[in-house]
Amino acid sequence: MSGIPPYATMPQRVWYYTFRVICGLIFAFLITPILVVMPLSFNAQDFFTFTPEMLRLDPEGYSLKHYRDMLGDDGNPWTGLWIGCALGVAWAAFGVYRRGSVSLMSLLPVVVLSLFGLIIGKLTGATGDWMVALRNSLLIAPVATVLSVGFGTLAAIGLSQPHVPFRRAIMAIMISPMIVPLIISAAGMYFFYSRIGLQGEYLGVVLAHAALGIPFVIITVTATLVGFDRSLTRAAANMGADPVTTFFRVQMPLILPGVISGGLFAFITSFDEVVVVIFVGSAKQQTLPWQMFTGLREQISPTILAVATVLVGISICLLATVEFLRRRSERLRGMSPS
């Protein structure tokens, strides 16, 4: 009935069940702290406490007020939604016209663009602490990611050429932001950026986060370049392609997985980063992690639990989307999902 073969001995059977119990305990240990905050975020009080009303499952004990606190009541969510929806419909119609067939997937642009429109509209002109922080994070992280990916990929390609002098030393310097304790980089950046007028500026935070993201891109791209066959670029050059064409048409598609995963790391680094931004940024660039940090330190309010619950929900949605896309591409390539 189970996975135990009939010839298993007694100790093997015992181990089989012990192993599963241990795995279950580890799973519970990892997931309980995340789950326990979710009901607390619906607390009707301003404390991290399961009130008697909550334990009785009395509706009086629950409320959405911390979610309202988080969202605020300004911004232009509906305008954004309509614009996004209209663009999505146009895109979907264009897709249907080009492919000449309609499927459920044709509606995807409408849903995605409406959602984006809703979020962008909500963030435009919002003044609540959390919405401003989210807006700052979303303005900083993608730009820092683009810079990290651009510079990191170029550096990795350059440093993988055997004839570059001092390549080990240069590599060590480039990836040092990942190894040096963050607080030291942050203090150094603070004084350096102050001198050149970048401290407290949007550009300063973006550059600082790009510097933190570059090592991740260099490492992942260097790893993919190890498996890259150099004779392909020579073959392309032999057929008359200039180096730029060769890069974009031959090399880039082959190292793309490394570039994308490096870019993801760079994005997460910027989106999660709290130490450097406190030093390099000013209150005008307060990002989401910074807001969470001050929220926990200065005001122990369940609003932060509401934010945590939403972030967990977003992570689950992202993972589910990635898994869905992976299965879809496997199916399209004729492989069965494992």
Partner 1 sequence: MKLTKTLMATTALTVAASAAVAEDMAMEMTLVSWGGSYQASQHKAYVEPYLAANPGVTVTWDESSAEAVAKLRAMDEAGNVTWDLVDVVASDSMRLCDEGLAMELDADTDLADAPDGTKASEDFGDLLVSECFAPQIVYSTTFGYRTDLVGDTAPTDICAIFDLDAYPGKRALQKRPIDNMEWALYCDGVEKSAIYDTLGTAEGVDKALAKLDTIKDQVVWWTAGAETPQLLADGEVVMGSTFNGRLFSAIAEQNQPIGMLWDMQSFDLDGWVVPANLPADRKARVMDFLKFATDTQRLADQAKYISYGPARKSSAPLVGQHAELGIDMAPHMPTDPANAGNVHIYDYEWWADNRDDLDAKFQSWLAK
Interaction of residue 45 with partner 1, rule CB under 8 A? yes
Whose Cβ is closer to partner 1: residue 261's or residue 301's?
301
Residue with tokens 């203090």: 187
Residue with tokens 């200065």: 298
Q: How far is the CB of 195 from partner 1 (least distance, A)?
A: 7
> Which CA distances in Å does 18 have to 12, 15, 22, 28, 60?
10, 5, 6, 15, 43
Residue with tokens 């619906």: 42
Q: How far is the CB of 295 from partner 1 (least distance, A)?
A: 8
> Which amino acid appears at position 151 of this protein?
F
String of DSSP letters for 56-98: TT-GGGB-SHHHHHHH-S-S-HHHHHHHHHHHHHHHHHHHHHH
DSSP 46: S
Interaction of residue 191 with partner 1, rule CB under 8 A? yes
Which residue of 299, 315, 321, 329 would you call a contact of partner 1, by CB under 8 A? Answer: 299
Find out whether 241 and 200 touch, Cβ atoms under 8 Å.
no
β partners of residue 43: 62
Which residue of 20, 234, 249, 284 would you call a contact of partner 1, by CB under 8 A? Answer: 284
Tell me the C-alpha distance between 43 and 10, whole Å.
49
From residue 234 to residue 273, the character string flagging contacts with partner 1 as x (rule: CB under 8 A) and all else as - is ----------------------------------------
Name the packing angle between helices 129-159 and 252-272 (round to 10°): 140
Interaction of residue 200 with partner 1, rule CB under 8 A? yes
Which residue of 190, 216, 265, 267 would you call a contact of partner 1, by CB under 8 A? Answer: 190
Tell me the C-alpha distance between 234 and 236, whole Å.
5
Which residue of 41, 114, 199, 246 would you call a contact of partner 1, by CB under 8 A? Answer: 199
- Measured torsion, CA atoms of residues 252, 257, 263, 264, in degrees rounded to the nearest 10: 160
- Per CB under 8 A, contacts with partner 1 among 105-134 are none
- Per CB under 8 A, contacts with partner 1 among 301-330 are 301
Whose Cβ is closer to partner 1: residue 91's or residue 129's?
129
Whose Cβ is closer to partner 1: residue 168's or residue 195's?
195
Tell me the C-alpha distance between 160 and 225, whole Å.
7
Which residue of 98, 163, 168, 195 would you call a contact of partner 1, by CB under 8 A? Answer: 195
Which residue of 12, 18, 49, 103 would you call a contact of partner 1, by CB under 8 A? Answer: 49
Interaction of residue 53 with partner 1, rule CB under 8 A? no
Which residue of 282, 308, 312, 327 would you call a contact of partner 1, by CB under 8 A? Answer: 282
Binding site for partner 1 (CB under 8 A): 45-49, 190-191, 194-195, 197, 199-200, 282-284, 286, 294-295, 297-301
